[in-house]
């Protein structure tokens, strides 16, 4: 069994390749059977809102909405609480299955036994 993976993406559509890479790695880890938690921070918080990932386009990349849905199907998707508040987002504004949590939860996740954390 692969070790747990926590991926934090800190950018949005303004840095499309980095944002897409974070989602790609998280979805690939889910497909490999890893326990995956994907955190959306900064401008990436918008990808937790319905329609935003669907509108994202990066040539030759797997559609972001499909990657997001793969993570939701087999892992966790969390939007940073401060990032959500700065964008006036509540959990009711997010795609089904996404949650909002803060630094304490993120810290608890990354300090777990055997966890690998990546930041994009």
What pLDDT does 2 receive?
87
Task: Encode pLDDT of 96-112 as tens digits.
Answer: 999 999 999 999 999 99
The mean predicted confidence, pLDDT, of the chain is 98
Task: Encode pLDDT of 1-54 as tens digits.
Answer: 789 999 999 999 999 999 999 999 999 999 999 999 999 999 999 999 999 999
CATH assignment of the domain containing 95 = 3.40.1260.10
Task: Encode pLDDT of 63-84 as tens digits.
Answer: 999 999 999 999 999 999 999 9
What pLDDT does 80 receive?
98
pLDDT above 90 (res 114): yes
pTM over the 0.85 mark:
yes
What pLDDT does 54 receive?
98
Question: What is the domain count for the chain?
Answer: 1
DSSP assignment string, 25-71: HHHHHHHTT--EEEEE-GGGGGGGSTTHHHH---TTS--HHHHHHHH
Q: What domain range is 101 assigned to?
A: 5-119
């Amino acid at each position: 069994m692969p070790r747990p993976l926590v991926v934090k993406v800190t950018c949005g559509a303004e840095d499309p390749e980095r944002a897409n890479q974070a989602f790609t790695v998280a979805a690939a880890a889910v497909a490999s059977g890893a326990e995956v938690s994907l955190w959306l921070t900064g401008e990436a918080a918008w990808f937790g809102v319905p329609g935003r990932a669907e509108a994202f386009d990066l040539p030759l990349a797997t559609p972001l909405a499909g990657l997001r849905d793969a993570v939701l199907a087999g892992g966790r998707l969390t939007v940073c609480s401060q990032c959500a508040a700065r964008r006036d987002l509540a959990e009711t504004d997010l795609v089904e299955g996404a949650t909002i949590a803060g630094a304490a939860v993120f810290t608890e996740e990354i300090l777990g036994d055997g966890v690998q954390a990546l930041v994009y």
